[in-house]
Amino acid sequence: MSSIKTALTDAISAELGSFIVSKSSTFACGGTIPIQGVSDTPGDLKPAGITFPFALRWDSKYSATGVGKLTFPVDPTNTMEMQNFSKLLEECEPASFGYKGEDVLDETYRKATKLDRSAFSVDFCPYELGIIDRIAQILLPNAKSDDGAHIGSSTHGVRAELYKLNIYGAPSGFFKSHVDTPRSDLQFGSLVVSLPCHYEGGQLIVRHAGHSMTFDWGASELVNTSVQWAAFYSDCEHEVLEVTEGNRVTLTYNLFYTSDIGELVGNGPTMSVKSLPLHSKIQEALDNPDFMSNGGYLGIHCQHAYAHSTKEGAQQLPGVLKGSDMAVYSVFQSLRLEIEVKSVLDSQNGLFRDQYRYYDDSDETTRKKDLSYIRRLGEVVVTETGGYEEPLQEIIDEFGDAVDVLWLTQPRHANVGMVHLTYGNQAGINAIYTYAALIVNIPKAAIRGRASDAASFT
């Protein structure tokens, strides 16, 4: 590889690495859930990632029963449904917004209508459809203990609280760029669900740290036949562009973190991987022929802690990956690249070389190219090789396969990965720590996109 290509690869790698470890890589996510007709068989369960038509009910002054009802998807050819839709539009109130601790009504800044949570009910459940699990995997923040120390997110889940129904109608429904005010210290984000009815325009644009994502639900051919959603952090700036046709009906949920989350599911149809900001960043790198032009292994140390060196912990991976780890895994998988979670003993960071430098009186080992050593998850390597007279290389060779890896991030969470003998004046046992990492097989630039060209890991 030429020095110019090497410099470009290094520059792209540095940018990717910085993006992965920042919250910018996962500040928002979204997805689409198709709606199918009601089953003819009583008691039938809907397939995963699918929802049935659902009803919205609200307090109505026009109904003899005091309750209005509208079923989604809205059928524009059904006269009764369109009459009910018109009643809903009439009974919604102008939507205000928060400014300096007060509710402000200003249609030059926001033009929309709303129903408060106390005025309606809907038999749509984001928990049943897996939306909340997706949000937990991608956006769940690290929790803090009372003393302010980070305690991780592995035992914390998401509580979604239905907040309002909003309608942005043509020809001029919109909401200028703003940042939401969290309702409590536990709130970390918002979920917006677009209900299936025809409209155009009304794009939701979410911005964070110089990056942006656009959710153009009205332009989708699925706008009338699916539920579309987006979730984002509370500190994200966002806006709703002008609706040019129809009515954009959304449910808004406040997202809070809570305790005692169970095992998270893996990647599935509920979430659109392409909606992740990281997807475009990685795609951009792969499209550059100067980035890893000869192919090779790309490594991303996991940003969260996992019990990767135990059999039980290994069996749960990659299903329990969280946050940016799950985002990285899902994105590379969606690009048809082979990616695996591996246990890594990394010589490049120099940690174990510094710790065990007394093994080598010569510089034979240090003259060798720095490599990473990878192996399958779930077991600690126990070797009788060791001792003060034993070269370090003979010890680490028993750990696993030596691989030249281009690392994007630094190691963070260590587990005991290898145990070996020490002896000299006194015999003993010592441990070498390893890290869980995502290892991606990047094909040569000329053949990228052909998954069959990626070699398998040993």
Which residues pair with residue 259 across a beta bridge? Answer: 156
d(CA 267, CA 457): 21
| 371 phi and psi angles, rounded to 5 deg | -130, 165
Q: Note whether residue 284 is domain-resident.
A: no
- Regarding whether 418 and 324 lie in a shared domain, the answer is yes
pLDDT bracket for residue 409 (50, 70, 90):
confident
Q: Is 427 exposed, middle or buried (0-12, 13-18, 19+ CB in 10 A)?
A: exposed
d(CA 330, CA 278): 10
CA 393 – CA 367 distance, rounded (Å): 12
Question: Is residue 279 in a domain?
Answer: no
Q: Does 138 share its domain with 60? A: yes
Q: Is residue 6 part of a domain?
A: no
* 52 and 185 assigned to the same domain: yes
DSSP state string for 369-418 = PP-EEEE-SS--EEEEEE-TTS-HHHHHTTT-EEE-EEESS----EEEEE
**Gap between the Cα atoms of 229 and 252, Å rounded:** 10
3-state secondary structure at position 49: coil
Residue 16 located in a structural domain: no
Q: Are residues 302 and 331 in the same domain?
A: yes
> How many distinct structural domains can be found in the chain?
2
Give every CB contact of residue 301 below 8 A, 6+ residues apart in sequence: 344, 407, 409, 410, 411, 412, 435, 436, 437
Both 244 and 336 in one domain: the answer is no
The rounded percent of the chain whose pLDDT value lies above 90 is 30
What mean pLDDT value characterizes the chain? 75
Q: Average pLDDT of 83-105?
A: 90
260 lies in the same domain as 324:
no
323-334 and 277-287 helices, crossing angle to 10°: 50
**Which is more confidently placed, 49 or 408?**
408
Highest mean pLDDT among 101-105, 181-185, 342-346, 377-381: 101-105
The reported pLDDT for the residue numbered 173 is: 95
- List Cβ neighbours of 213 (8 Å cut-off, separation of 6 or more): 27, 28, 30, 205, 206, 207, 230, 275, 277
Residue at 369 is within a domain: yes
Which pTM was predicted?
0.62
Work out the average pLDDT over 413-436. Answer: 57
User: Does residue 151 belong to any structural domain of this protein?
Assistant: yes
Any domain includes 4: no
Please identify, among 241, 274, 307, the residue that sits at the C-terminal boundary of a domain: 274
pLDDT recorded at residue 47: 59
pLDDT digits (tens, 9 = 90+) for 135-194: 887 887 544 444 444 434 444 688 999 999 999 999 999 999 998 877 777 788 999 999
CA 376, distance to chain mean position in Å, is 24
Tokens 């609280």 found at: 161
| Dihedral in degrees, nearest 10, Cα atoms 351, 355, 360, 362 | 50
- Mind listing the pLDDT tens digit for each residue in 271-315? 677 777 778 888 888 888 888 888 888 888 887 777 666 777 777
3-class secondary structure, 234: coil
Final residue belonging to a domain, choices 215, 242, 274: 274
Look up the domain containing 350 and give its range: 292-453
- According to DSSP, the residues that pair with 211 across neighbouring strands are 208
Least-confidence region, from 54-58, 95-99, 388-392: 388-392
Q: Are strands 296-301 and 405-407 parallel, antiparallel or unpaired?
A: parallel
Q: What is the pLDDT of residue 336?
A: 87
398 inside domain: yes
Per-residue confidence (pLDDT) for residue 267, from 0 to 100: 44
User: Within this chain, do residues 233 and 369 fall inside the same structural domain, yes or no?
Assistant: no
Distance CA 254, CA 181 (A): 11
Residue 69's φ and ψ, nearest 5 degrees, are -140, 140
Same-domain pairing of 266 and 296 = no
Same domain, 397 and 252: no
Are 244 and 356 part of one and the same domain? no
> CA neighbours within 13 Å on the CB side: how many for 195?
27
Q: Are 327 and 268 within one domain? A: no
Do residues 96 and 216 both lie within one domain? Answer: yes
Which residues are registered as beta bridge partners of 98? Answer: 103
Would you state the pLDDT for residue 364?
Answer: 44
* 365: pLDDT strictly greater than 90: no
Q: Which of 274, 303, 332 is the last residue of a domain?
A: 274
Side chain identity, residue 103: D
The pLDDT assigned to 456 comes to 43
